[in-house]
Amino acid sequence: MSQPVSTAVKVGKTSEAADGGAIPRHVAIIMDGNGRWAKARGLPRTVGHREGAEALRRVLRASAEFGVDYLTVFGFSSENWKRPPEEVTDLMGLLRLYLRQEIAEIDEKGVRLRVIGNRDRLSSDIIQLIEEAERRTAGNSRLNLTVALSYGGRAEIVSAAQQLAKAAQAGSLDPEDIDEGAFQRHLFTSDMPDPDLVIRTSGEKRISNFLLWQSAYAEYVFMDKLWPDFSGEDLKIAITEFGGRKRRYGAAG
């Protein structure tokens, strides 16, 4: 008998791989280790971030091949603004380059790009590039790529609470009608299934304020490999581990 699942939990429908294992519909990745990868090689951190972009290309291809529908990656957290100004400048420059040079290929491969997070601190030209990329790829459906930029899970939850409070104050929402479903509809990811699998690279075992609400019932896989070395085969390993787990959503198994 299947286990009961709360109606507020947006469960992704997992498909089945050729070997019989489950394929997560939504994979989220904390791409960690660019700086350490570069430091270990005596290279500037910028080089690590560039190699990290290459790793993302590999994972995009592999995700589409494996049948993943949604891929969400943690590109730049709200806390990352505290990094040295020169590193932030380099990261923003890499983001500009990616948006200018990669969108044509992403669009051609049927990938839809969306960006979640607080855009207020991003420069106007980056915001324009993001909006253009989102419009250009809006009709694609092979893979949904969501990039979290200037994003923090706590800030997202606070923003949703503020929106609900304003609606209640205005009289358009009865406070008694505020439940998990209503709250979820005010998150950045309201039209997406919750992640089934969350991967973090580099060996660190923490979630770093990423998709706090959405990942309540996700399966976590922590991998020792630094992000620039991450490959499609590593994604397959994580998906295979996911496929061997039994998801209970809080119920007894």
Neighbour tally for 131: CB within 10 Å: 12
Residue with token string 């601190």 = 121
Exactly one of 32, 69, 194, 234 is catalytic; name it.
32
Query: What is the Cα–Cα distance from 136 to 150, expressed in whole angstroms?
Result: 22
In the annotation, is 19 catalytic?
A: no
In the annotation, is 32 catalytic?
A: yes
Nearest one of 53, 71, 74 to 63, comparing CA atoms = 71
Exactly one of 34, 80, 179, 234 is catalytic; name it.
80
DSSP-assigned letters across all residues of 156-209: HHHHHHHHHHHHHHHTSS-GGG--HHHHHTTSTTTTSPPPSEEEE-TT----TT
Q: Is 76 left (phi over 0), alpha (psi -120 to 50) or beta?
A: beta
Active site (catalytic) residues: 32, 80
